[in-house]
Chain A
């Protein structure tokens, strides 16, 4: 079972789905459920696909967990182990609660990242249009290798824009009655973050108490029960852990007030030039407004007013202050791509070296993935370099975007005397014979084909089921590309320039791939029979 190589974080037995008993697995990247006695999953969701989870109310007889997907579908899981059902459910819920936000963020981030890459790189965009928009390959396949490459260098320049805080975040926690004299507060990770950013004192308390002294749930329950959350903060009991927070807030507010304001236009204290001395004036009945002769109601009213001022100030500060402790958890979160890249270490994507061929006019780029191939080629280069002067080879470390990929053998074939490239070079410079628009089109074709071939070759060696499927698919993709893109171009070229065989090299590359596929397929058939 291929999926077993994934890390399993939690296994819950006796979970029913559609009236079928089974086992629930929470893995690093997805949640899955398989019926009892079978060794495959009938339900499997990537965390990134899950919009939210819902749980049945505490009092209910059936203890359930519902997963709602972004597509709107939902899956109900019923925990049926009588004695531990509640515990199981909560364990699953808590773990999900931790996992989901991570993936949610990643999903958004990925989308943004893709968008950015496309915008920044016109060649890539063209490629995307050629391949994905024309449905030669799926978007997922297109991005499969790209993102992981780019993730590395982009996490370095992590210029994530910070999100402000809604002033009404406390209002968004709509308490609901659950029908039996209780209140339910709905907390999301966003709200929790807002609370922490607005009230650092609460965050500190959280750090101190969770999970040593109490569970997260208990913490928030206490938070909501506390007067700190409610309006009259005057009567905070001593045993309340939040009474200290209230005091800290008070202190913070006082110190802010004491610092005074910078803008003299709003400084009410220095506005008056000469205030009346004490005892003069018509309606100043001596500021004897000590707390003693204020009623409780008035006190709580002014507490509300203070709180609003404080709250707004903190929200404002949280929104504008560039905090130094930017979430650095993101930096190390460079997601590894799907299964194939891990297994196929032979074709590990990071490209260390690339060789660029210059012929003075048209630049063809051939890039080699495998280190071994590069070395081979370098050897060849040494030999060739002596013989042929026309070929000007230059080594470069940079990866050119849209680089075409082919195996060394293919390149050697093309570059050897009598090969397609050499032919072209031996003839006159290509730019003198072919108009610019055709050249451009050819370039696009090359990059697109290169991309497809890269996908194709990256499937070898085919040692997983997934790769098997992929290689078959890629082959059909190649065929489709040849039919829809290459053929029309060839016809067009032939109509105009009968003599030059511009696409010969491309066709060779395709042929090479077909051969390889054929060889692999026959080998597989042989093994099967």
Chain B
């Protein structure tokens, strides 16, 4: 249907629309109009993706000079693929309606591992191996060497692409990863480099966060993207952690040892080159004197996005003399390594700020701040000059140099913690230096500064006001949308007590209590008897789950659960968990029913959807607080308090609740889905916890469903499940991204949670829609 969103003609590729989608588009349009940033929360399964895409594409067509590009960032590869498929649908609709072939180029970009078509390289299993191998075939100096020695191996796909691919741009259309590979195979071009090259002129790019947030990758891939882009971060509830992760560094003894080896290799190579090709080193020296002028010019002329690892100041200066020659630099690095080694030789925990660290290093080994800042850039230059093929081998020394640059660049927002051993095993020395970023805004700052509109959206962003604060930006729109439902398809329940009236809680003091564990077990057992197909249960941490599973096993609870369903358990090993997951789905599929025991903050809770019968109930055992004894966390909490005036408890609760919401939200992936959400901890009943749940869950959490006993929960669940089982009708084509087999019939939803164009145009409906958006 064609919509009129405040004067903008939007093509929407479905015949029906959810009221909240309309409302979402309204807010989005206002954000784009204002050229500002936005924070929008809308439950998963209500068609966020298609709303975003259709509005932004329409905007792009209407105002081609205002918005030139859409950068859509998602988290996982399957999600990226899903976005591309939605986009394809939209484009087909466009060409059908307008009758003309549209000239929009949209493509997905992923790592080499997912895009490589080279027969040998692509067969490697790990991404790092693929990258390294690719590099050893395609690096510029390798190719230069090949001129003199043609017997060296090469990648014909890259050669072909380099020779031909850049002349003709990729034809307009929608390309997912497989399309790119097909195209690459057909033409004999490398799909990865083709995609990387094509994103510069593509209208829509879909890739993962890291390409924009991780400075190491962003510098390679995304720095030349146009300023007039709209950036969308989907599933952004964890974006602060992604930012922090990309800027934090851990250094262990092993890292140092490997760096030591790297330095030695460098030294030998330098000696060798000096004998054979001294001119090369001189040339490098000259370049370094001139400084990083080129980069500076590019950034000033607004071609490059800034890189937090490459701060502005160093662009204007030449590389300091003390590290300009190769030998001096290697010597410098050696000294730095020795210093770090000495620092790791400690018996008690040390925590200090970056300036303290710099002061100490100056006093002890006379290393100045200035050369440290150039470390990363200087090493890169050296590696280039020495023509070292396999960069992957030098990851350790690269890590050290990045650390050097970061620690000397940022005096705020980072902390250094040196721990001599892990807390759990105080007898085993395993010193680690954590250089930990506490301020997520550092990594994301270039994005907000460079691009005109950044949209942060997810199914769970509550409380909305906290994201602008921790990411340090000023949004023009902040809104939360609920899910309009023809039937109440979610049933959140807070179980606070066992049948013996003992409080159920994962509070630290009582979590190992026998009664608590037993009650948790009884809850699982009771639910396993009444819930059909799949149940997913989340624990607060892996160790806690291990302990509980062990004591359930001893008490014979698991045996009884097994009478009802099969049990699968997440393990720290991703491959094993994948297998367990697949078997879990198989068991749900063949009607046997299964239980998946999993961990909040784990991979399962973040990336796997349990649609329909794969998750008819989610049980959240306890409140998933982060491990509060960690020093890194303590430092971060302190920083948040001092810098952003966010109280520790507020942040911890916010963090716990967003993970809890993520976990329970796994089961509801659309309006036709239904599921129980069981919060098994009495603390959820408190207003400060409840209030931090997303609005679409909170709405259904009545006073009657708080602080229940197990028996009451079972009764309510039975009632709910029976009700849900009734109202399932035939198939309808609704516009949720995942097409569902069991659907409410359209008539049931029409007018309430599903609208036709006529209904949309009616006056009172528009009024209703206006209420859906909840301005924070």
State whether the Cβ of B756 lies closer than 8 Å to any Cβ in chain A.
Answer: no
CA distance A57 to B558 in the complex (A): 30
State whether the Cβ of A352 lies closer than 8 Å to any Cβ in chain B.
Answer: no
**Other-chain contact of B578, A267, A274, A293, A304 (Cβ < 8 Å):** A267
**Other-chain contact of B251, A279, A292, A312 (Cβ < 8 Å):** A279
A272: chain B residues within 8 A (beta carbon): 76-77, 208, 607
In the complex, which of the residues B558, B581, B583, B607 has the most CB atoms of chain A within 10 Å of its own CB atom? B583
Q: Which of A318-348 contact B (CB under 8 A)?
A: 319-320
Which candidate, B136-144, B209-217, B489-497, is the interface stretch facing chain A?
Answer: B209-217
In the complex, which of the residues A262, A270, A273 has the most CB atoms of chain B within 10 Å of its own CB atom? A273
Q: Mark B558-570, 1 if CB is under 8 A from A, else 0.
A: 1110110111110
Across the interface, do B127 and A312 meet the contact criterion of CB distance under 8 Å? no
Q: Mark A162-203, 1 if CB is under 8 A from B, else 0.
A: 001011101100000000000000000000000000000000
State whether the Cβ of A296 lies closer than 8 Å to any Cβ in chain B.
Answer: no
CA distance A429 to B289 in the complex (A): 123
CA distance A288 to B77 in the complex (A): 27
Q: Which of A245-281 contact B (CB under 8 A)?
A: 253, 256-258, 260-281
Closest CB-CB distance, A491 to chain B, in whole Å?
57
State whether the Cβ of B604 lies closer than 8 Å to any Cβ in chain A.
Answer: yes
State whether the Cβ of B335 lies closer than 8 Å to any Cβ in chain A.
Answer: no
Closest CB-CB distance, A80 to chain B, in whole Å?
41
Chain A residue nearest to B583 (CB atoms) is A313
B78: chain A residues within 8 A (beta carbon): 264-265, 271
B430: chain A residues within 8 A (beta carbon): 288, 293
Across the interface, do B583 and A257 meet the contact criterion of CB distance under 8 Å? no
Given A257-B575, A278-B395, A309-B576, A168–B80 Cβ distance below 8 Å?
Answer: no
CA distance A353 to B482 in the complex (A): 79
Closest CB-CB distance, A227 to chain B, in whole Å?
15
Across the interface, do B428 and A293 meet the contact criterion of CB distance under 8 Å? yes
Across the interface, do A260 and B245 meet the contact criterion of CB distance under 8 Å? no
CA distance A28 to B559 in the complex (A): 39
Across the interface, do B549 and A312 meet the contact criterion of CB distance under 8 Å? no
Across the interface, do A274 and B217 meet the contact criterion of CB distance under 8 Å? yes
State whether the Cβ of A239 lies closer than 8 Å to any Cβ in chain B.
Answer: no
CA distance A387 to B579 in the complex (A): 82
Across the interface, do A168 and B562 meet the contact criterion of CB distance under 8 Å? yes
**Other-chain contact of B553, A253, A304, A319 (Cβ < 8 Å):** A304
Across the interface, do A284 and B250 meet the contact criterion of CB distance under 8 Å? yes
State whether the Cβ of B286 lies closer than 8 Å to any Cβ in chain A.
Answer: no
A301: chain B residues within 8 A (beta carbon): 546-547, 549-550
**Other-chain contact of B583, A171, A265, A312 (Cβ < 8 Å):** A312
Q: Mark B183-202, 1 if CB is under 8 A from A, else 0.
A: 00000000000000000000
Given A269-B575, A273-B110, A301-B550, A286–B252 Cβ distance below 8 Å?
Answer: yes
CA distance A312 to B596 in the complex (A): 11
Chain B residue nearest to A302 (CB atoms) is B546
State whether the Cβ of A316 lies closer than 8 Å to any Cβ in chain B.
Answer: yes
Across the interface, do B583 and A280 meet the contact criterion of CB distance under 8 Å? no
Q: Which of B565-592 contact A (CB under 8 A)?
A: 565-569, 571-583, 585-587, 590, 592
Closest CB-CB distance, B522 to chain A, in whole Å?
16
In the complex, which of the residues B114, B211, B566 has the most CB atoms of chain A within 10 Å of its own CB atom? B566
Given A263-B585, A274-B210, A309–B250 Cβ distance below 8 Å?
Answer: no
State whether the Cβ of A285 lies closer than 8 Å to any Cβ in chain B.
Answer: yes
Closest CB-CB distance, B572 to chain A, in whole Å?
7
**Other-chain contact of B580, A271, A282, A309 (Cβ < 8 Å):** A309
CA distance A275 to B113 in the complex (A): 12
Across the interface, do A273 and B210 meet the contact criterion of CB distance under 8 Å? yes
Q: Mark A64-90, 1 if CB is under 8 A from B, else 0.
A: 000000000000000000000000000
CA distance A275 to B207 in the complex (A): 14
State whether the Cβ of A426 lies closer than 8 Å to any Cβ in chain B.
Answer: no
Closest CB-CB distance, A301 to chain B, in whole Å?
4
Given A279-B396, A293-B428, A298–B546 Cβ distance below 8 Å?
Answer: yes
Across the interface, do B579 and A256 meet the contact criterion of CB distance under 8 Å? yes
Across the interface, do A305 and B563 meet the contact criterion of CB distance under 8 Å? no
A516: chain B residues within 8 A (beta carbon): none
4 A-B pairs besides A273-B77, A288-B254 with CB distance below 8 A are: A171-B559, A277-B216, A309-B580, A316-B590
List the 6 closest pairs (A to B, CB-CB), nearest first.
Answer: A171-B559, A273-B208, A168-B562, A312-B566, A167-B562, A266-B581
Interchain Cβ contacts under 8 Å between A and B, 26 examples:
A166-B562, A257-B576, A257-B579, A261-B582, A266-B578, A266-B581, A272-B208, A273-B80, A274-B208, A274-B210, A274-B214, A276-B246, A277-B395, A280-B245, A281-B250, A282-B437, A285-B250, A286-B255, A286-B432, A298-B543, A302-B546, A308-B569, A309-B568, A309-B579, A312-B567, A312-B583
Give A contacts to B, CB under 8 Å: 164, 166-168, 170-171, 231, 253, 256-258, 260-286, 288-289, 292-293, 298, 300-302, 304-306, 308-309, 312-313, 315-316, 319-320
